[in-house]
Each structure stands twice: as structure tokens, then as C-alpha cells.
Amino acid sequence: MDINSDMGELNTLLADGTYEKLMNHVTSINIACGGHAGGPEMMGAMLSLAKDKDVHIGAHPSYPDKENFGREEMEDIDPNELLDSIRDQIEALVDVASEYEMELTHVKPHGALYNLAVNNEEVSQTIAEAIIDVDSSYKAVGLAGSKMLTVFDALGLDTISEGYVDRVYEADATLRSRKHDNALITDPQKAADQMKEMLNGNIIAVDGSSVPINITSVCVHSDTPNAVDIAEALKKQLQ
């Protein structure tokens, strides 16, 4: 089971060693590549650590909106402009990775772009086309059970079906909005228990209902409190 984490977004998490410690427990990382966060220097730092820790690397493109950390939908952006932005972000990471003699394995959208693609086939197609423009061999990461995976698959991309151990789910198998106080899971044991449920093919939603889920990867966000302890708990449970 793959454990992935979004990285390269916050200087503080690089400085305090969170990114490095997380890479001891995860198997792949998704690197911010300029849309919501990150730049050549941060990408280089993530790639250097990833090479040392032997973890898979992927691009983490978003809406081009650093002001809102890519967490607000850009309703007015033209689809062609969005496609160009996503492609440019992926290519930016590819260029830096080449300097480290590393190759990307996957692409995972970030924030509002990801959340919108869950149910929006047009946005999912834009993401897929941007990936294909760069390299059709890259796997596309999406929320387990969502329309985005169906679109990615229909366009010929290999997909990674993702579940979140540090997020609470709604009864429709979507993620509970971060606007709610109970959207995050920060207790390592609860996160590990949620992964165990997922591996058994279910997720317990916020209303207590059991929702079917089929995953090939689990994510722990690097900026979730106790992220390192959560990732360590996941790794121990898998072992």
C-alpha cells in the first residue's frame, strides 16, 4: 500500500524537519510546483530529500492562486488557461527533477482544483489533458470512487485511487470541508484505524454511515498536526 504526502508547500515544514521525517514513513510525495506554493528552490530541496530517502515523486499542480493557497475555486479562469497552467506547473517540476536525474511517476491535483474535479468531468478532463501533454505514462491520482478517476481512466491514464487518513468523510464519500472544526483527524491511532477500515473496503462517514471505498494509496497531509506521528502509525500498521 502506497502512503503519499503533499509536500514543498511551506518553508516552516522544511526548516523544522517535518518533510524529511515524513519521508522516513511515506512511499511517494506530491511536490508543489508553483501554482499554490513552491518554486525552483523548494522543489530542489524536496527532490534532494526524496532521492536520499528513495521515495517516488509526483507533481502537485493547482489553480494558479498563491494568495489563497489554491484552496478557493477560480470560477472565471478559462479552461485553456487552466490547462496551460497545470501543464506548465508539471513541466516546471520535470525540469528541476532532470537536474537531479529523477523522473516523475504521478500527478495529483491540489486543493480546490482536486475537490472540483471530484464531481466535475470538464475540470477532470482539463487536468488529464495537461498530464497527457507532458507525459501520458504519469499516473493520475484522484479521490477513490470519484468521477475524476473515471475521466482519467477513459482518457487512457493509469490511475491511483486515493483515500485520506487525516480527513473526515461525508456520506457521499467526499471530504468534509476544512471550514468545519471536525474536518481533520489528528490522532495517529484514529488515522491508522481509518486506514484499516479503508483496507477492508469501507469508510465511516461523519454521520456514522459505512461507505464502500476502494483505495490503492492513502494520503497524510504534511501540514496536518501530528503528521509525522500519523505516517509512522500507518507504516507500523501496514508492517
pLDDT tens readout for residues 193-234: 999 999 999 999 999 999 999 999 999 999 999 999 999 999
Write out pLDDT tens, residues 112-125. 999 999 999 999 99
The CB density around residue 11, as the number of other CB atoms within 10 Å, is: 12
167 to each of 66, 174, 239, how far by Cα in Å?
Answer: 23, 10, 22
The closest of 170, 179, 116 to 142, measured between CA atoms, is 116
DSSP SS3 for 176: coil
- The CATH-assigned architecture of domain 2-238 is Alpha-Beta Barrel (3.20)
List 143's β-bridge partners, or say none: 162
Rounded CA separation 214/207 (Å)? 20
Rounded CA separation 214/232 (Å)? 22
Amino acid at 221: H
- Residue 159: pLDDT band (50, 70, 90) is very high
pTM: 0.97
